[in-house]
Amino acid sequence: MNLLNKSPDWWRGAVIYQIYPRSFQDTNGDGVGDLLGIVQRLPHVASLGADAVWISPFFTSPMKDFGYDIADYCDVDPMFGSLADFDQVIATAHALGLKVLIDLVLSHTSDQHPWFKESRDSRDNAKADWYVWADPKPDGTPPNNWLSIFGGPAWQWDSRREQYYLHNFLVAQPDLNFHCTEVQQELLSVAKFWLDRGVDGFRLDTINFYMHDEELRDNPALPPAERNDQTAPKVNPYNHQRHIYDKNHPRNVEFLRKLRTLMNGYNAAAVGEVGDSQRGLEILGEYTSGEDKMQMSYAFELLSGHEPLKAGFIKDTFEHLERVAGEGWACWAYSNHDVVRHISRWGLNPASSRVYTTLLMCLKGSICLYQGEELGLPEADLAYDDLQDPYGIQFWPEFKGRDGCRTPMVWHKDAAYGGFSSSKPWLPVPSVHYHLAPDAVETDPAALIHHYRRAIAFRHHHPALKAGSMTHIWAHGDVLSFHRICDEEEILCFFNLSDHPVDTTVPAGDWVTIGGELGSIRPMPDHTLHLGPWQPSLLKLNQGGRDG
């Protein structure tokens, strides 16, 4: 049994396993995962060698956006269980040596939250300015041109106040007004409630959406050549604007400092999700530099794109990160609950899946793994009638939404619904997932899950990989290489990110081959490195061993 890491820097280089509660394990037979299901399956997470779990929202909610529309920040939705069940999650995780991060959605609430119900009741009640309200233009149209990520205007008319309210996401998700001091204090109290309950930190949803421009200025248009689909699907007009005024407010950092001060008293850490494809890495630097803001920010560069990662792209990404966020700390992931699973997105085979896993564990930053990626689960291909996600329903069929990556976990190959539930789940269990269930692959030494365990253990064994610098990033064709350096340890990493063999040259030095369990190979005596398809070479420098 692992001991819980008490270091204040436990988060630096940590491997964090994301749990989507609805789809992890159902224990009461209603077809929806629950907190006691998480308790039941935490040993699986611990067996991977993860340092922490990130649990997506389980708070009281009408579930218009599946928990990201919160109606009570300090209680558990009955669908998932009770506060007592959550206490069991904490106790079990800690006993297994796992930290627990919970997903706090602070930028907006549900329209069923008591705060919003009071706020919309009149223009002069105690919570009248707790949300972002604005008068219409003289012609009755919305105050400005801001758009919702879910499509259409970001403003909704309310007949009671005869004003518009801001919703950067669903109409049922009104934005809180962070320019109101009382709102900030109330949200800090929410964070304290969960810290007192034993959580080790937070994943902060849409961290750069907290504050808006008080003058409500229009966003400028974004030229077509600069548009991409990292923040929103290609078919979404949200991509047609440069989002200067509806998010990324400079004073956002002031609230983050208050939250950091609170967390410091609990040895807690936070990873913020920066939802911005235009200035994402710059904002990451602004929000994580120094010792007074968030520890980590979630980066989207490796979560987007339909082509497998290229050596040049990784080089450019990390060099850009160093330029604009050299003092910050990124958290990297290939998959999560919002994007197509990377096995399908990149069309990976067993060999490429393994090398990308090894690469992820060698990158500078912390790591997030999404439930099921250790099994190699592909994206589910769902019929329109099976969709639950309002995002997919809105933009079908050009964008099929997020349900394909949210289908239930499989645990037993021969059990009904893969052992997830005793009754029909909220989303179908794809037939192609059954043969990838843990009990089906555990005895197969070539199964991807064993490679994940080895790669995570390898990362933990080498301080340079967890917390070291990343220098001399080099890309030549399909070969990527870089150095990871920490104190007396220096590791040189080579990756052939292609399906054909490549020869390259190792710099002079007394290099020792490591990572043989990950497929790493040694160079020839003349320093030539014959990399096979999808093959790494991981080399450690003997102390004092460089030949000039």
Buried b (16+ CB within 10 A) or exposed e, 203-242: bbbbbbbbbbbeebeebeebeeeebebbbbbeebebbebe
- Among the four given CATH numbers 2.60.40.2250, 3.20.20.80, 3.30.70.890, 3.40.50.11260, the one describing domain 15-108+180-459: 3.20.20.80
The residue among 151 and 106 whose pLDDT is bigger is 106
| pLDDT tens string 99-150 | 999 999 999 999 999 999 999 999 999 999 999 999 999 999 999 999 999 9
Question: How much of the chain, in percent, has pLDDT values that exceed 70?
Answer: 98
Instruction: Give me the catalytic one of 34, 175, 205, 286.
Output: 205
Return the CA Rg of the chain. Answer: 24
| Cβ atoms of 60 and 71 closer than 8 Å | yes
Query: What would the mean pLDDT of 289-303 be, rounded to a whole number?
Result: 94
| pLDDT tens string 192-222 | 999 999 999 999 999 999 999 999 999 999 9
Query: What would the mean pLDDT of 42-62 be, rounded to a whole number?
Result: 98
Q: Which two tokens stand for residue 327?
A: 């003092």
pLDDT at 3 over 90: no
pLDDT of residue 547: 40
pTM beyond 0.85: yes
- Residue range(s) of every CATH 3.20.20.80 domain in the chain: 15-108+180-459
CA atoms within 13 A on the CB side of 184: 16
Query: Which letter does DSSP use for residue 535 in this model?
Result: -
- Residue range(s) of every CATH 2.60.40.1180 domain in the chain: 469-541
pLDDT of residue 548: 31
Query: What would the mean pLDDT of 165-188 be, rounded to a whole number?
Result: 98
Rounded to whole angstroms, the Cα distance separating 534 from 496 reads 5
Q: Which H or E run includes 455?
A: helix 448-461
Note if 547 is an active site residue. Answer: no
- Among the four given CATH numbers 3.30.2320.50, 3.40.50.2300, 2.60.40.1180, 2.70.98.90, the one describing domain 469-541: 2.60.40.1180
* Closest C-alpha to 483, from 442, 452, 511, 445: 511
pLDDT at 278 over 50: yes
Angle between the N-to-C axes of helices 83-95 and 35-48, in degrees from 0 to 180, rounded to the nearest 10: 10
User: What is each CA distance from 147 to 142, 409, 545, in whole angstroms?
Assistant: 11, 34, 57
pLDDT confidence of 364, banded at 50, 70, 90?
Answer: very high
Query: What would the mean pLDDT of 224-250 be, rounded to a whole number?
Result: 86
| pLDDT tens string 54-93 | 999 999 999 999 999 999 999 999 999 999 999 999 999 9
Instruction: Give me the catalytic one of 65, 69, 111, 273.
Output: 273
pLDDT at 322 over 80: yes
pLDDT at 544 over 70: no
pLDDT of residue 546: 46
| pLDDT tens string 481-514 | 999 999 989 999 999 999 999 999 999 999 999 9
Round the average pLDDT of the chain to a whole number and report it: 95
pLDDT confidence of 226, banded at 50, 70, 90?
Answer: confident
pLDDT of residue 276: 87
Query: What would the mean pLDDT of 157-177 be, rounded to a whole number?
Result: 98
Number of Cβ within a 10 Å radius of residue 275:
25
pLDDT of residue 390: 86
| Cβ atoms of 163 and 136 closer than 8 Å | yes
Note if 213 is an active site residue. Answer: no
Chain position carrying tokens 């301080």:
463
